[in-house]
């Protein structure tokens, strides 16, 4: 029985994309929590030792090896930072869904300034809280652009800002959660996208990600049409990098090389749905920051830009 469970776990890890998504989007549900399959691997290993079963112990090595192949690199130490004379140039970006029920916007903003970031992307900005965020961030981030409920604060000049339409059909007008802007960094101009995809729900019908998936297709199309070569995507994408529903986005902008940085829910983080992705640049590592008054943890990532 232990050996059979070990083999099944290995198959789910190795062939998660083969789990069908037609009924209840079970494939996406599995992929949303795929790293947590490491927990049954540890449990199975303990039971195999307890039973002193050589067959079970050998079988457990299979899912352990697959898990290590998929997620082991994320546990490795972050690579050394710092460019030489701006070639290549590295920057730090913070991504945070601040929560539309956040009772301490100013305190949240002040907490984010301690991360040493050059770019700060925020989602769920409300009209009442926006002036508080803007005021608290103004001294450190003199440039900012807001579109609907998403915004970008920057130490670098920003230009060519425009709304990105990622509104799925069936969601009313006025739902603006996409922003594209050009940031003039010391390493060259880059396109920065800030996005907040629709939430997913787990209910009797399964994993409700239809709106999220449709919005991801629209964001992916915008990235495909982006003429600037270097692109950074910051946002609450309401999905993990392994979730096939985000494939239209993750196929055009790569996730971090190091770090798990689980960000949601803040009280007991189970998944990183707050993403920092890049095209023609490298997201070296990502880490979770201390909690704020939001139900998400902020994340900070180091991004290495290509030589100009």
pTM of the predicted structure, to 2 decimals: 0.93
Please tell me whether residues 136 and 191 are part of one structural domain.
Answer: yes
Q: Which residue, among 112, 192, 189, has the nearest Cα to 152 in the 3D structure?
A: 192
- Give how far the C-alpha of residue 249 lies from the chain's centroid of Cα atoms, to the nearest Å: 11
Residues 247-276: tens digit of each pLDDT? 999 999 999 999 999 999 999 999 999 999
pLDDT for 84: 45
pLDDT for 83: 47
Average pLDDT over residues 283-306: 98
User: Looking at the 3D structure of the chain, how many domains does it have?
Assistant: 2
Q: Does residue 85 belong to any structural domain of this protein? A: no
Please tell me whether residues 55 and 147 are part of one structural domain.
Answer: no
Please tell me whether residues 193 and 288 are part of one structural domain.
Answer: yes
Residue 234, pLDDT > 90, answer yes
Compute the radius of gyration of the chain from its Cα atoms: 20
pLDDT for 206: 80
> Are 151 and 145 within 8 A, CB to CB?
yes
Residues 45-84: tens digit of each pLDDT? 999 989 888 898 899 999 999 999 999 999 998 776 554 4
Q: Who's near 235: CB < 8 A, 6+ residues apart?
A: 95, 121, 123, 150, 193, 194, 195, 196, 197, 274, 275
- Which of 15, 42, 75 corresponds to the end of one domain? 75
How would you classify the pairing of strands 188-196 and 231-236? parallel
> Are 261 and 287 within 8 A, CB to CB?
yes
Please tell me whether residues 204 and 279 are part of one structural domain.
Answer: yes
Please tell me whether residues 117 and 242 are part of one structural domain.
Answer: yes
For residue 172, the domain's CATH number is: 3.60.10.10
Please tell me whether residues 6 and 150 are part of one structural domain.
Answer: no
Q: Does residue 83 belong to any structural domain of this protein? A: no
Q: Does residue 82 belong to any structural domain of this protein? A: no
pLDDT class for 220, splitting at 50, 70, 90?
very high
Residues 134-150: tens digit of each pLDDT? 999 999 999 999 999 99
Please tell me whether residues 50 and 109 are part of one structural domain.
Answer: no
Q: What are phi and psi of 102, to 5 degrees?
A: -65, 125
- Give how far the C-alpha of residue 7 lies from the chain's centroid of Cα atoms, to the nearest Å: 30
- Give how far the C-alpha of residue 271 lies from the chain's centroid of Cα atoms, to the nearest Å: 9
Please tell me whether residues 113 and 12 are part of one structural domain.
Answer: no
Average pLDDT over residues 102-112: 97
Asked if the peptide bond before residue 159 counts as cis, ω within 30 degrees of 0, the response is no
- Which of 12, 42, 75 corresponds to the end of one domain? 75
Helix (H, G, I), strand (E, B) or coil at 134: helix
Q: Which residue range(s) make up the domain with 97?
A: 90-304
In sequence order, what E strands does 197-271 have? 201-203, 206-208, 231-236
């Amino acid at each position: 029985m232990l050996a059979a469970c070990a083999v099944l776990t290995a198959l789910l890890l190795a062939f998660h994309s083969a789990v069908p998504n037609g009924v209840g989007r079970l494939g996406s549900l599995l992929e949303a929590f795929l790293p947590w399959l490491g927990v049954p691997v540890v449990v199975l290993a303990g039971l195999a030792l307890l039973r002193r079963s050589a067959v079970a112990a050998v079988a457990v090595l299979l899912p352990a090896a697959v898990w290590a192949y998929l997620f082991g690199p994320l546990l490795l130490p972050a690579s050394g930072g710092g460019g030489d004379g701006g070639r290549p140039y590295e920057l730090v970006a913070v991504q945070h869904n601040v929560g539309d029920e956040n009772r301490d916007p100013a305190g949240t903003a002040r907490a984010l300034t301690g991360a040493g970031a050059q770019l700060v992307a925020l989602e769920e900005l409300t009209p009442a809280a926006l002036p508080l965020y803007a005021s608290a961030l103004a001294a450190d981030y003199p440039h900012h652009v807001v579109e609907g409920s998403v915004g970008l604060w920057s130490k670098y000049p920003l230009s060519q800002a425009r709304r990105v339409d990622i509104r799925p059909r069936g969601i009313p007008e006025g739902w603006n959660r996409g922003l594209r802007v050009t940031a003039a960094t010391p390493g060259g101009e880059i396109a920065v996208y800030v996005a907040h995809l629709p939430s997913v729900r787990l209910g009797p019908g399964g994993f409700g990600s239809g709106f999220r998936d449709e919005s991801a297709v629209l964001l992916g199309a915008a990235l495909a049409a982006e003429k600037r070569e270097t692109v950074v995507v910051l946002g609450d994408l309401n999905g993990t990098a392994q979730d096939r529903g985000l494939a239209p986005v993750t196929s055009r902008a790569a996730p971090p090389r190091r770090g798990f940085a689980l960000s949601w829910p803040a009280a007991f983080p189970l998944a990183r749905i707050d993403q920092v992705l890049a095209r023609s640049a490298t997201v070296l590592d990502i880490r979770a920051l201390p909690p704020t008054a939001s139900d998400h943890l902020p994340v900070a990532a180091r991004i290495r830009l290509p030589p100009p």
